[in-house]
Structure 1
């Protein structure tokens, strides 16, 4: 897994990253009880991609076994309370998970499957002007650079 090189990482960001890394490690080891301990009981979940590809949600709800789809994170980036995890497997599979971590518990999960993602911060220049955005994170699947995929922007 790669470390992000964006900016200095706070203790809170380190803790959020460790929470999400622990979730993937627990799932890789088949320890669904440990994984369930870090996921909030009323997790808010969003999905974008083919309906048959709700892989992480199926694992988290017990609908499919932990090893039906192997999540091998290739990069992990932390932006405040967001932890962005990216993975790809060959030319057909690309996924991005965006986890929101509050007080050591995952409260929100966004799963993007075969979708390019850009996370942008929107902030007003003044109360009369339009919003100005800066890119906080962008998909970078090395194995799929020539592939055409739908693109989404997540505004924070």
Structure 2
């Protein structure tokens, strides 16, 4: 298991974890996938039902027995526990996907999966004196945004951390 307090940074640990996760999915290595995921994983999907491939792979209920693989073009570690991966469907580059995963102690505990959706991750700084969102936006900071979607024609979702 990766220890971010030693040689590797948390970002390197997260990238290695995701690399191992996607390799295990590609080779249908259920043992490794189960080792990297918590048994009670929280999973959320946003997109057309025909694109719901990750859950099918994770549960073994996938009708897609072809060589479909998630091949992320970008993996970014955000903060201590969030990792975002983004890519295209291999057979159709008009369909983009984003996985926002929560990692705790080297285990994936939550998966949010988005298809053809512009995803923005924003950090909100809470002020002790403010109980409602300020009118200004000074406390919100965009830390990541989808790069593979056409932001003008895609639905947009905001993940606040």
* TM-score normalised by L of structure 1: 0.83
1:20 CA displacement: 1.3
Q: Which residue of 2 aligns with 1:88?
A: 88
What SS class does the counterpart of residue 18 from structure 1 fall into? helix
Q: Give the Å deviation of 1:133.
A: 0.7
1:37-83: per-residue Cα shift (whole Å, max 9, x none)?
10100001111111232211111111115646321111000012111
SS for the counterpart of 1:92 is strand
Cα deviation, residue 92, structure 1: 2.5
**8 A Cα contact 2:44 2:113, kept in partner:** yes
SS in 2 for 1:87: strand
Q: Give 1 or 2 for the bigger CA radius of gyration.
A: 2
Name stretches of at least 5 consecutive residues in structure 1 with no aligned partner.
1-9
Matched, 1:153 2:158: yes
Q: Which runs of 4+ in 1 moved over 3 A?
A: 65-69, 144-147
Once the two structures are TM-superposed, the CA of residue 147 in structure 1 deviates from its matched residue by 6.5
Aligned-CA RMSD value: 2.1
Secondary structure of 2:123's partner? strand
Q: Report the Cα distance in structure 1 between the residues aligned to 2:151 and 2:39, rounded to whole angstroms.
A: 39
TM-score, normalised via structure 2 length: 0.80
Give me the whole-angstrom Cα distance separating, in 1, the residues matched to 2:71 and 2:44. Answer: 20
Match of 1:47 in 2: 45
- Which residue of structure 1 aligns with residue 77 of structure 2? 78
Q: Distance in 1 between matches of 2:35 and 2:28?
A: 14
Superposed counterparts of 1:6-155, under 5 Å: 11-64=9-62, 67=66, 69-79=68-78, 80-89=80-89, 90-128=92-130, 130=133, 132-141=139-148, 144-145=149-150, 148-155=153-160
Matched residues in 1 for 2:82 and 2:50: separation? 26
Number of residue-to-residue matches in the alignment: 145
> How far apart are residue 130 of structure 1 and its match?
2.4
Measure, in 2, the Cα distance between the counterparts of 1:147 and 1:68: 32
CA contact (8 A) 1:27 1:66 kept: no
Mapped partners of 1:91, 1:148: distance in 2: 15
Structure 2 unaligned blocks of 5 or more: 1-7
